[in-house]
Chain A
Amino acid sequence: MLNHEIEQLDAAIRSLITGSTPHLSRENPQLLSMVDLASQLRLMPRPDFRMRLRDELLAQASLPPARRRAFNSNIALPTRAYLKSPTTHDSVLPPLFSTSPSMLPVRGSHLALSFALHVAALAVVFTSGWWMVQNRALVRTQIASRWSGTVDYILPAARGETHGGGGGGTHDKLPASRGSAPRFSEEQLTPPAVVPNESPKLPAEPTVVGPPEVLLPQLGQTGDPIAAILNPPSNGTGSGGGIGSGEGGGVGVGFGPGVGDGRGGGIGGGVFRVGGGVSAPRPVFDPDPEYSEEARKAKYQGSVMLWAIIDAEGHPRNLRIARSLGMGLDEKATEAVSRWRFEPALKDGRPVAVQISIEVVFRLY
């Protein structure tokens, strides 16, 4: 009998919870009174509600009287929204005909700060726009050029002349990428590589063969200093290790473990090259080149590499394009550099002609 009543009570409670009317026999008043009690239990508050409201009241009580009154409309309602079922949106969203401007707390200082920041941001936008309109011509033609220090193997003065060269590569599909050649050393343990061997059997610093007192500029990524591309990294199409299109564990187009055109290590001869007792020429007059109309319209940017001989008077001679950019910028670069003037290179205290590379960068701002 008790089991039957237990089942009947549970069935009635299920009906109450689902919102339907429980069907009970009036012959069992005890069970009826229990179902009536169960219907009242449905209205019980959630256990955490009492504690949360108590905390809210304590927070409200701790405020000065003026703010305590405002607490009701500004803080308490959103706090209580957390206690609500997520399906009831009336406390989360303001009612359609609400007389309150906001249901979230607003502090005057925060509002003022926000307003000031917005005004400042708008002022910056309008001022910069106005400046751009007023200086349209200047913006259009503004370019940057710089004389590059990454000349072809630019070297400090040393006791003797340097000769020879080197080259390398690992039969990559792409030509070697641009970067700095590693330092010179008397003997080579490891050839340089743009893409290094991750787990070498004998870890050793990559070097190229040449006079150790000659310090090559180190600019970060290892590569061929006169290569056209910066990325993707490639050791080049040459062979025998190293970087470039040559052969023999060096850097460049030559043969051997040196750098540049030539053989057997070291660095190439011919016209004086910077280094090995020859100082680098220093530009003293280097006006910016103009942007070609075609390139400016196309918003074309990049750099042109020029080969030049700087004679003993500091004039650029025999300008050649080592790396072309196109769109008329090669001509503009040549035209500008031809007007440059240098403090000539020195060998044993006397000015001498040297061959250098000049990189002219074209960039639109």
Chain B
Amino acid sequence: MQILKATERDADERDLIEAAQRNPSCFTGLYEANFDRVYAFVARRVPNREEAEDVTAEVFHQALVGLAGFEWRGTRFAAWLIGIASHLIARRWQRAAGHVEVPPEELESIAVSDQTERQALLAQLVDRLPEDQRHVIRSRFVDQRSIREIAQELGRSEGAIKQLQFRAIESLRNQIRSRHA
């Protein structure tokens, strides 16, 4: 099993966990810090966006319920969430396959990976794109709208929208490369 690359200091995360255990309303801090990671992990293992959102929501709801029992043992909180997600996904697989047991090694293989981190980073980078590029990316990939529809909405030519799309993806690729470097 690989270890998640830390994006925040352990101490900060521990403080967040303890605060959330004292006051569950503080759980939103942990949620914001880990949402992209959990969603990225789930999205790569379920067939569509709706199911990814469903599983992600269930992970956080279960985490909130079980937070009181969480003990800090040096393991990152994200790993605990990913563990919940793994079990939920495995249960779905079993249900879909007619209650066939999923081998432990299969569950092991769906643990944390660089790919998940990369996907989580990508979601964060999209949020930081310039307004027009972000709008094009979300319209194109989330809403699955055509270039023509987006052009009509923004009052620009189709060529301009394609160019914005290209620049946005190019920018995302360059930023991911620089982070990895």
Residues of A within 8 A of B (CB): 5-7, 9-10, 13, 17, 33-34, 37-38, 40-47, 49-50, 53-54, 56-58, 60-62, 65, 68-69, 71-72, 76, 80, 83-85, 88, 91
Contact = CB atoms under 8 A, between A and B. Distances in A.
Interface of B: 24-25, 27-28, 31-32, 35, 39-40, 43-44, 49-50, 52-54, 56-58, 60-62, 64-65, 68, 118-119, 122-123, 126, 137-138, 140-142, 144, 147, 162-163, 165-166, 169-170, 172-173, 176
Among B24, B35, B122, B166, chain A packs the most CB atoms within 10 A around the CB of B166
A72 B65 contact: yes
Nearest to B30: A57
A34 B170 contact: yes
Given A10-B166, A33-B173, 11 more contacts: A6-B165, A34-B170, A37-B173, A40-B118, A41-B126, A42-B141, A45-B43, A46-B49, A54-B31, A61-B24, A76-B58
Task: Tell me the interface secondary structure of chain B in the complex.
Answer: helix
A54 B169 contact: no
Contact of B53 (A9, A49, A62, A72): A49
A46 B143 CA distance: 8
Nearest to B143: A46
Contacts of A54: 28, 31-32
Contact of B25 (A34, A40, A61): A61
Given A43-B44, A80-B53, A6 B163 contact: yes
A53 B60 contact: yes
A46 B54 CA distance: 12
Given A38-B141, A44-B142, A76 B57 contact: yes
Nearest to B32: A54
The list of the 4 closest CB pairs from A to B, nearest first, reads: A61-B24, A43-B43, A41-B141, A6-B166
A62 B122 CA distance: 32
A42 B126 CA distance: 12
Among A9, A45, A60, A84, chain B packs the most CB atoms within 10 A around the CB of A45
Given A41-B122, A84-B50, A88-B50, A68 B56 contact: no
B31 A57 contact: yes
A62 to B, nearest CB: 7
A18 to B, nearest CB: 9
5 contacts: A5-B166, A9-B165, A41-B122, A57-B61, A68-B64
A9 B136 CA distance: 14
A203 B28 CA distance: 75
A127 to B, nearest CB: 48
Contacts of A42: 141
Given A34-B173, A43-B43, A58-B25, A72 B142 contact: no
B54 A45 contact: no
A43 B122 CA distance: 11
Given A72-B58, A72-B62, A85 B50 contact: yes
Contacts of A38: 141, 169
Given A41-B122, A53-B56, A83-B53, A76 B142 contact: no
A61 B27 contact: yes
Contacts of A80: 53-54, 57
Contacts of B44: 43
Contacts of B176: 37
Given A7-B162, A43-B40, A83-B53, A57 B64 contact: yes
B162 A10 contact: yes
